[in-house]
Chains A and B, each alone.
Chain A
Amino acid sequence: MKARVGKARVRKARLGKADARLLVLVLLAGAALLWAVPFAWMAVASLRPGAAGAADIASLLPAGPFSLGNFAEAWNSGHFPLWYLNTVLLCGGILAVQCVTVSLAGYAFARLRFPGRSLLFYAFLLQLMLAPPILIVPNMRTLVALHLYDTLAGVMAPYFASAFGVFLMRQTFRTIPLAYEEAAVIDGATPLQIIFRVLLPLARPGLAAFAIVSVTSHWNEFLWPLMATSSPSNQVLTVGLASFTAGAEAGSEWGVMAAGTFLVAAPLLAGFLLFQRQFVSSFTFSGIK
């Protein structure tokens, strides 16, 4: 009798535990689905033909007929090829220069001893806090003085040095055994040769992680490119999207707006879905852009 009661109690406790687990899972699934709602709407609304009427534009149910008309209209009313080109040039230009600057400085902090090393390192790290958007007022003046205002090079310039990149490369170089460099030093290699011929090929994972974070943050940046340029020919995707959506909003062309937003967001979303593991490890490596 006693044993039976005990068993029943155990079973009840187990059931309660299973119920709780199920409840938590349902709550989590609900929250995750809620998180996906704006994307679901973007996908459904961008494929719904404009003629379907505005009444059910908010509906998340993917009901046909589908068409790519919204994409065609978005493509034609915005300057997407130009915006893509400028954004790719911006991200590529920043990354190319950063790769050089962060490799050099990362090596110095990783391997060389010199007076003021830790002080300088903290001075570098402070850049993580003073993000260029905060310094728009003085940085605009600098661009004007350097005749770089309203150029893509001007948008890039504040990012050519990257405290995050220096930190990341320092960590990466430190994981490479000293033996590789010592062999090169004995052969008479200069520091530059050591960095670019010996260490960088071995530091590829670190560079790739840095590239993902750098490209993602500059692809998505808005305020600084908005302030540092004025002519339409220098607009990047985010700046173009802002004026594009203002127009679509005024005309209540929600399907076109959804299509335009998708065009801007799609490359990075696709990259993330394809290389999820690399993206996640790059972001968590440090977390500062």
Chain B
Amino acid sequence: MSSTTLPGALARPTSAVRRRPARARPAVTAYALLLPSAVFLLGFTYWPVVQVLVGSFSVRGFRIAPHWGLDNYARLFADPHFGNAVLNNLLYAVGTVIPSVVLALGFAVGLRESGRVRMAMRTLVALPMLIPLVAAAALFVFVFLPGGGLLDWYLAKLGVASHNWLGNPSLALGSIIAITVWKNTGYYMLFFLAGLAGVPQEFLDAAKIDGAGPIRRFWHITLPLLGPTLGFVAVIATLNAITQVDHVIVMTQGGPSDATNLLLYYIYQQAHQNYDLGLASAATVVSVAALLALSLASLKTLERGMHYES
């Protein structure tokens, strides 16, 4: 490439010998280039973690002098609402991750072939991932409306009695889970479709010639080759189960009787409604610890997942 094709500012032959900073001191250049990102990362990701850690050990109250201690954690673990939120979040994670990953895999395997009908079906399944979770919540408020809502209206035609889907403590978490599965399955399907495109057709053809049926081909060839994708999707799905509670905020506010209270909603409640920053900080530390454990355990999986497309 000759210098004349470069934009004008670059075509300065006179400075060629004088300045070669990119090669001269790469380390200094590199740190300078990383600085803008690092400032915001430090300010809004790492400093907050330190801050919340410090805040969780700082004890303040009306009648006691401020001091350091484990009081916030003691109060946190003694709070039945917190234990409940952790338990709910575990149920919510299992209840959303497994069905959405299995359904996404099923859709991807079933709809991978080209063709107009399958393409339209893929689009239908993918669409929910594009709308805000609060918009999904708005639609499902009507879907779950007792009596005249979409679900009950059609169930009534089948002779099923009406249910208070969001108001019944034993149904509410399941209803919230259904929204999440509906919204995220299409997103995960896209990863499986990309992963399936990387499964060599020769392997499948060879197995077919050897007489392996579609089910055996799936279990013994497709699924093992999709391993990294599966791990990657499972990690993102778990992450989403911890960090997305918009539907809980607008639909159930953690209720009824704490049935849909999740970890992040609990933090939101303590910070926003009870102004108990000590408790909120301690609960944040617990969630950050959970996320860090998940990330350290899955760093390799994530990186592998990020590589396959490039």
Contacts and interface: CB of A to CB of B under 8 A. Distances in A.
Interface in B1-41: 1-3, 6-7, 9-23, 26-27, 29-31, 33-34, 36-41
A167 B306 contact: yes
Contacts, number: 335
Interface string B217-250: 0000000000000001100100100111110011
Question: In terms of DSSP, what is the predominant structure of the interface of chain A?
Answer: helix
Interface in B87-119: 103, 107, 110-111, 117
A109 to B, nearest CB: 8
Nearest to A260: B138
Interface stretch (A4-12, A63-71, A128-136): A128-136
Contacts of B130: 216, 220, 265, 268-269, 272, 279
A107 B117 CA distance: 42
B70 interface: no
Q: How large is the interface on B (under 10, 10 to 19, 20 to 34, 35 or more residues)?
A: 35 or more
A100 B52 contact: no
B259 interface: no
B10 A285 contact: no
Contacts of B117: 29
Interface string B112-137: 00000100110111111111111111
Contacts of B49: 130, 135, 138
A76 interface: no
Interface string A177-217: 00111011111111101110110000000000000000010
B250 A180 contact: no
B59 interface: no
B26 A114 contact: yes
A287 B309 CA distance: 10
Nearest to A226: B249
A221 to B, nearest CB: 8
B110 A104 contact: no
A108 interface: yes
Interface of B: 1-3, 6-7, 9-23, 26-27, 29-31, 33-34, 36-41, 43-45, 47-49, 51-52, 55, 103, 107, 110-111, 117, 120-121, 123-143, 148-150, 152-154, 182, 185-187, 190-191, 193-194, 232-233, 236, 239, 242-246, 249-250, 264, 267-268, 271-272, 277, 280-281, 284, 287-288, 291-292, 294-295, 299, 302-303, 305-306, 309-310
Q: 5 tightest CB-CB pairs across the interface, nearest first?
A: A58-B153, A138-B48, A161-B40, A188-B15, A158-B44
Given A38-B143, A125-B299, A127-B45, 7 more contacts: A113-B30, A129-B295, A137-B271, A160-B40, A161-B37, A188-B18, A188-B20
20 contacts: A39-B139, A58-B150, A58-B154, A101-B37, A157-B40, A161-B39, A187-B6, A187-B11, A187-B16, A190-B21, A191-B21, A197-B6, A198-B6, A220-B135, A257-B142, A264-B135, A265-B132, A281-B309, A284-B190, A284-B309
Interface of A: 24-25, 28-29, 31-33, 35-39, 41-42, 45, 54-55, 57-60, 100-102, 104-105, 107-108, 112-115, 117, 120, 122-142, 157-158, 160-163, 166-167, 171, 175, 179-181, 183-191, 193-195, 197-198, 216, 219-223, 226-227, 237-238, 241-242, 245-246, 249, 254, 257-258, 260-261, 264-265, 268-269, 272-273, 276, 279-281, 283-288
